[in-house]
C-alpha cells in the first residue's frame, strides 16, 4: 500500500513537471507567434547573408567564390513590419490589373474538384520549395526551369544591403544562401503562409521539359548523366549502345567501363518523364516533375501566379505592387544572356575532369554552342571557331567572349526568335506522336490548372510530317 501510494505521488510529480514544461513551451511558441505578427511598434532583428560584389563583368580571370558571411546589419533593409503588408499590396493590385485578375479566377475555377489532387512529392520535401524574403514578407514557391534561379537571387538581393542586381550572385551559389520554410516548425510555417505574400511562376510544360533536357541531359552535365541517365536507360541497353557506337567509331574518345549516359535522346527523355509520373519505379527530379506536385496550387492560396511567357509584365507587376524601384526589367534582360554565357562557361570548366571521362572537351563545347543556338541566343550562321586541340585548353573567359562576339554578329531578334521556334518544332518531331499524347495525359493537371494548351499546333499538327532523327539536330560531330 505504501509503495503504491509513493508511486502515485511520484507519477503525480512527474505529470506536474511535464505540465509545467509543456506550458513553458506553448507560452514561448505563443510569444514567438505574437512577435511574428505584431504591428508597427516592434522591429525584428534580421540575420542574413551579405554578399560581396562579384567580378561579374568579364574583365578578370577571377572566378572564385563570391560569398562572405558578415555581421548582421539591417540599416538599409526595409522593416519587416510595414503599415501595409506585401500580401495586402499584391492582393489589392491584382484586383485592379485585369489580366492578373482573370488569370487568378481561371486558376481558382480549374482547382475546383482538384483540392485532393496533391501529387507524390513527399511532405518533408515541400517546405524546401518555398523561399522567403524576410525584409519584404514574400514567399516564393520555386518550380525548376521556370525562373527559379532568377527569383532566388532576387529575394537575396532584397534582403541584402550591398547588392544592386540578381546577376551579382553566382548561379552555382544561389541555393547555398536561400532562406526556405524548411527551417520553420509547422506553426510558424502556417503563420507565414497566412501573413506573407505567396507567389509562384509557371511555364509551358512542353517548353519547360525541353529546357530541362537541354540543360541537364544534352549539355555536358556528368552529375545528371549519372543520376538520371540510369533511370532513363537500363545499364544493359546502355552497354549495347556503347558497343555499337564503338564499332561504328562515332566517338573520338575511349569508352570507360562506367556507363556515362551522355547520349540520351530527347525521345528517351520524354519516355522517362511519362514513366516517372505514372509509376513509382523511377527516381524523380524537380526539374522534370509536374509543377502542381511541387507547389500544391490547389491546396495553398497563392496571391499571385506569374508566367514565364509574360515574364516582363509579371515582374513589373510584382515590383510595382510592392513599390520596389530597385530593378529595371530591361536592364535585367540585357544582363540575362551574359549571365547564361558565364554560367555555361564556368560549368564546363568546373566539370572538366568528369566530362573527359565520357567525351572530349571539344564535343562538350560544341554541345553548349548548339544549346545557345537552340535557345535563340546566337545565330545558326555563327559556327564554333575552335579546333579540337584548341578546345582542350579553352578557358571560360575566352569562351564567354567568343559567345558574346557570336551574339553581336547574329541576325536580328526577330530572326533569332524564329530560329528558336523552329528548333522547338523540330525537336518535338523527334518524338513519336503516341508518346506525346501519353505525355499530355500525365501532365494534364499542369495544363488545366495553369491554363496551357495541351495540344498545340506547333507540336501535334507539325508532328504529322515525317519524323526527324535525333542526330539531325543534336549530333555536333557530324
- Nearest-5° angle of CA 311, CA 474, CA 220? 75
> Taken in order 161, 167, 170, 175, is the CA torsion positive or negative?
positive
Q: Where would I find the beta strands (DSSP E) of 95-205?
A: 130-133, 138-141, 197-202
Provide the β-strand partners of residue 304: 199
Ordered by start, the domain boundaries in the chain are: 50-68+75-203+293-327, 207-289+336-474
Question: Closest by alpha carbon to 212, among 283, 147, 288, 263?
Answer: 288
pLDDT of res. 64: 43
Write out the three cell numbers for 99.
489580366
Distance in angstroms (rounded) separating the CA atoms of residues 344 and 332: 18
- Picking from 115, 116, 94, the residue whose alpha carbon sits closest to that of residue 105 is 94
Q: Which of 335-344, 412-421, 463-472 has the lowest mean pLDDT?
A: 463-472
pLDDT digits (tens, 9 = 90+) for 362-375: 999 999 999 999 99
φ, ψ of residue 260 in degrees (nearest 5): -100, -30
- Specify the pLDDT at position 242: 52
- Choose among 176, 215, 221: nearest CA to 354: 221
Calculate the average pLDDT of the chain.
Answer: 82
Residues 6+ apart with CB under 8 A from 407: 337, 377, 378
**Poorest-confidence range of 18-27, 132-141, 274-283, 380-389?**
18-27
Confidence of residue 244 (pLDDT cuts 50, 70, 90): low
Amino acid at each position: 500500500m505504501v509503495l503504491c501510494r509513493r508511486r502515485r505521488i511520484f507519477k503525480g510529480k512527474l505529470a506536474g513537471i511535464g505540465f509545467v514544461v509543456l506550458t513553458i513551451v506553448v507560452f514561448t511558441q505563443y510569444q514567438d507567434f505574437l512577435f511574428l505578427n505584431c504591428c508597427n511598434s516592434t522591429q525584428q532583428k534580421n540575420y542574413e547573408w551579405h554578399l560581396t560584389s562579384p567580378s561579374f563583368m568579364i574583365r578578370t580571370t577571377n572566378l572564385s567564390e563570391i560569398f562572405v558571411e558578415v555581421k548582421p546589419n539591417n540599416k538599409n533593409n526595409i522593416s519587416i513590419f510595414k503599415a501595409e503588408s506585401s500580401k495586402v499590396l499584391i492582393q489589392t493590385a491584382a484586383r485592379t490589373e485585369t489580366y492578373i485578375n482573370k488569370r487568378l479566377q481561371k486558376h481558382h475555377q480549374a482547382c475546383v474538384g482538384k483540392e485532393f489532387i496533391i501529387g507524390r512529392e513527399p511532405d518533408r520535401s515541400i517546405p524546401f520549395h518555398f523561399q522567403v524574403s524576410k525584409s519584404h514578407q514574400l514567399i516564393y514557391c520555386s518550380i525548376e526551369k521556370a525562373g527559379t534561379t532568377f527569383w532566388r537571387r532576387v529575394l537575396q538581393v532584397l534582403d541584402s544591403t550591398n547588392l544592386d542586381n540578381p546577376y551579382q550572385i553566382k548561379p552555382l551559389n544561389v541555393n547555398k544562401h536561400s532562406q526556405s520554410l524548411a527551417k520553420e516548425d509547422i506553426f510558424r510555417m502556417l503563420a507565414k503562409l497566412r501573413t506573407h505574400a505567396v507567389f509562384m511562376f509557371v511555364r509551358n510544360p512542353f517548353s519547360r521539359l525541353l529546357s530541362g533536357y537541354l540543360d541537364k541531359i544534352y549539355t555536358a552535365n556528368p552529375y545528371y548523366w549519372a543520376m538520371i541517365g540510369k533511370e532513363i536507360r537500363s545499364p544493359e541497353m546502355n552497354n549495347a549502345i556503347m558497343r555499337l557506337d564503338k564499332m561504328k567509331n562515332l566517338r573520338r574518345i575511349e569508352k570507360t567501363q562506367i556507363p556515362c549516359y551522355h547520349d540520351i535522346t530527347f525521345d528517351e527523355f520524354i519516355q522517362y518523364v511519362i514513366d516517372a509520373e505514372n509509376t513509382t519505379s523511377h527516381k524523380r527530379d524537380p526539374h522534370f516533375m509536374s509543377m502542381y506536385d511541387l507547389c500544391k496550387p490547389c491546396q495553398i492560396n497563392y496571391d499571385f501566379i506569374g508566367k514565364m511567357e509574360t515574364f516582363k509584365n509579371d515582374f513589373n507587376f510584382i515590383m510595382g505592387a510592392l513599390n520596389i524601384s530597385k530593378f529595371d526589367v530591361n536592364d535585367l534582360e540585357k544582363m540575362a544572356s551574359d549571365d547564361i554565357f558565364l554560367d555555361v562557361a564556368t560549368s564546363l570548366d568546373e566539370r572538366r575532369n568528369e566530362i573527359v571521362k565520357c567525351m572530349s572537351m571539344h564535343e562538350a563545347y560544341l554541345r553548349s554552342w548548339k544549346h545557345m543556338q537552340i535557345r535563340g541566343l546566337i545565330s545558326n550562321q555563327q559556327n564554333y571557331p575552335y579546333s579540337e586541340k584548341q578546345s582542350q585548353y579553352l578557358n571560360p573567359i575566352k569562351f564567354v567572349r567568343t559567345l558574346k562576339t557570336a551574339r553581336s554578329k547574329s541576325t536580328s531578334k526577330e530572326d533569332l526568335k524564329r530560329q528558336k521556334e523552329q528548333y522547338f518544332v523540330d525537336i518535338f518531331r523527334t518524338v513519336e506522336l503516341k508518346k506525346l499524347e501519353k505525355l499530355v495525359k500525365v501532365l494534364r493537371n499542369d495544363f488545366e490548372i495553369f491554363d496551357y494548351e495541351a495540344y498545340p499546333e506547333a507540336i501535334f499538327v507539325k508532328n504529322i510530317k515525317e519524323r526527324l532523327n535525333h542526330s539531325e539536330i543534336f549530333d555536333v560531330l557530324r
